Structure formats: structure tokens, C-alpha cells
Amino acid sequence: MSEQWSDIACEIKEIYGNKDFVPLHEPTFNKKEIEYVTDCIQTGWVSSVGKYVDQFEQQLAEYTGVKRAVAVVNGTAALHIALKIAGVQANDEVFIPALTFVATANAVSYLNAIPHFVDVSEETLGLDPIKLEEHIEEIGEMKNGHLINTQTGRIIRAVVPMHSFGHPVDLDPLIEVCNRYNLVLVEDAAESLGSYYKGRHTGGFGLVGALSFNGNKIMTTGGGGAILTNDEKLADYAKHITTTAKIPHRWEYRHDGIGYNYRMPNINAAIGCAQLEKMNEFLVSKRNLTKQYQKLFEKVEGVQLFTEPSFGTSNYWLQTILIDEKLDRNVALDVLNKEGTMARPIWTPLNELAPYSTCPKADLSVTNQLNKRVINIPSTPLKGEYHG
């Protein structure tokens, strides 16, 4: 089996021009980023005030098709505020997939709420609406307009689907579940900028959504995130509390509530503006890379390239393979990384992490199975695909 993975590593290196080392995902910059960042430095507007923050928020809202976008320091901060303005309170429970990055659970915990782990779908790698409803029927009851967990007595306030590696969750049946049980839908779209569900951009289906622009995302601001919503009042509130809840005044420092210093610096927003201008080119390059991987893995026994669901269009942020359970995932990871092609397993299921080991959970059989089978492989857009 080691020889098989060594051959795969060689073919991946060939796709990337026979580099000695191929990272999992790295940012791609050109003259436009340098131009905008230089403008920030030369004018002195490098911190939390400047034209690029407003410009980035406007362009992002237009790109994703929502009314408002609020830029913040990172994706976790975006999700934290998204949950807060959605009404999640201390001692509430929030349904989240067990198979997601830890930030999804951390954002819930920042509000002194409790993550409630549910299973994912093999079709999307994201939250499974059918299994969610089955779980609700088993442990929940409606009382005074709220869904109550009969095992804990707590209100279950919201659902947070996460579009894993850019592949959209099946949102229509999930929205039906939310409507039936009075649950607020908050989308963790951290990985899915440029992904669409039935023709609509992810992140805009719920009351509020969250994006991430970390250095390894499909486009980056260095560090950064954004809150998406179609509710103008919620957007104004999000902007206010992420800028320390300061009341506008020419010189006085007055704050009308507990705020957060989550402002995105202008210099980061400048990078974002330049990157967003190239999003369509990034997406084309990502799909071309997917086609090359499809050819590669068609001839590899026991390995399958994960592709977008029939109802969605993925940004293919991280290329993902599924290996047969009879194969040893750790052998694959060891050989690929030794051969200079960076590869990573999917996240450890959150219910297995010490801080969250006692949280309520549903049947997680699919999560446990996928945990042994999913590997991410190099996914950086191929520079020659879009640079002129």
C-alpha cells in the first residue's frame, strides 16, 4: 500500500510542476494586492478605519447576494457575533455537526451556550437534516414556542450547518426543520465563499452567516472574517458591537454596551478587495484542479475523489479523498507527507475533544466512519490557470 501512496504523491507533484514540496493550500498574490496595501501604508490608513473596509464590505455583499456584510478580524469572531445577534443565550443548546473545525463549537461556548452534536451526511460531509429531525423527535418537545431538550431541560435555540471544504449542505430540508421547530439558522460558511446551493450563494439562507478569510482559504485577507445578513438592523447591531459599541462622536469615548474589538484593519481589507476581484479566476482554477484529480483517482483502487452534491456548486476549497475502510488512513498520511505532498485528516470529531466530551450528542455513526476515511490533499489554485 505504501507504493500506491508514493505513486499518488509523485503524480500530485507532477500536477504542481514537480516541486520538492507541495503545501496543502497557500495564498496567491500579485501586483493588485501590493498596490492596495502600498496605498494604505502611504496614506497612513492601516488600522481599523479606512476606505478599504467599507469597499470590501460592499463588494462582499454584492458578491454573495446579501444586503449587508460586516468585516471582522477572523471567522471565529464572525460566527461568535452571528450567534449572538441571532439570539443565542447562556445555557441554550445549539445544534452543530460533530465533524467540523473546533471554531464552530468554540463560538457557541463564547456565549456560555452548549454545543449539541449531530451527525453529517455522506453526500455533503455537512450536517444531515434527516438525521437531525430523527434526533429531535427522539429527545425534543415543543413548549411555549421553544424546542426543549427533554434530557437536559434546556432550550435548543439554533442550528449551525457548516459547508465542509466548500460543499453546500442540503439547505431546503434543513430550513423546513428549522421552521417546524422554531430554530434559528446560522450558517457557518467559513469555507464556502464562492459556493452555491441551487443557484444561491451559501451564507445567505439563514438569519445570519459567517465567512473566514484565513490565509489558507480560497481568498484571504491575511486574517479576517465577515458576517452576512439580509437584516439591516442586525447588520447595524453587528457593526456596532464589533467596533467596541462606541457611540459616534467627534471626540468623546462613550460606549452604550459591552462591545468587542473585532474590527478588520484597513490593510487587511485592502488585501481582501484585491483578492475578491480574482475570485472567479480562483474558482475556474479550482475546478480545473478537480478535473485533474478526477483523472488521477479514477485509476486508483480504493480511493475516491469527493465531489460536489447534485444540488450545489462547490468552490472546491480543499480537495478531499475518501479511502476504503480496509485501507489504513495513517499509512496514507505518513507516505504522502514524507514524499513532500502535504496531506491532512479531517478534524477529530468534536465530541472526542476534552472540552466538549460531555456535551449532548445524537447518533454519530456517519461521523465516526468518515473520520477514518477522509484525507485532504494539496488544493492551491494552479497559478498558470489564471495569471496573465
Q: Is the CB of residue 306 less than 8 Å from the CB of residue 321?
A: yes
Mean pLDDT on 75-81: 98
For 144-177, how does the pLDDT look when each residue is reduced to its tens digit (9 = 90+)?
999 999 999 999 999 999 999 999 999 999 999 9
Dist. CA 212–CA 166, nearest whole Å? 12
Dist. CA 159–CA 227, nearest whole Å? 16
- Smallest CA-to-CA distance from 319 within 351, 300, 339, 341 is with 341
State residue 2's pLDDT score: 86
Q: How confident is the model at residue 114 (pLDDT cuts 50, 70, 90)?
A: very high
31-276: same fold as 2-26+279-385?
no
pLDDT score of 386 more than 90: no
- Smallest CA-to-CA distance from 98 within 78, 138, 76, 125 is with 125
- Smallest CA-to-CA distance from 375 within 96, 8, 3, 120 is with 8
pLDDT score of 49 more than 90: no
Dist. CA 106–CA 22, nearest whole Å? 31
pTM of the prediction? 0.96
Mean pLDDT on 372-381: 97
Residue ranges covered by each domain of the chain: 2-26+279-385, 31-276
Mean pLDDT on 211-227: 97
Share of the chain above pLDDT 90, in %: 96
Domain range 2-26+279-385, CATH architecture: Alpha-Beta Complex (3.90)
pLDDT score of 384 more than 70: no
Mean pLDDT on 135-142: 98
The 3-state secondary structure of 307-334, one letter per residue: CCCCCEECCCCCEEEEECCCCCHHHHHH
Dist. CA 183–CA 20, nearest whole Å? 49
For 296-338, how does the pLDDT look when each residue is reduced to its tens digit (9 = 90+)?
999 999 999 999 999 999 999 999 999 999 999 999 999 999 9
Average pLDDT score over the chain: 96
Q: Is the CB of residue 143 less than 8 Å from the CB of residue 153?
A: no
CATH number for 31-276 (one of 3.40.50.1000, 3.40.1310.30, 3.40.640.10, 1.20.210.10): it is 3.40.640.10
- Smallest CA-to-CA distance from 221 within 358, 79, 55 is with 55
pLDDT score of 42 more than 80: yes
State residue 383's pLDDT score: 66
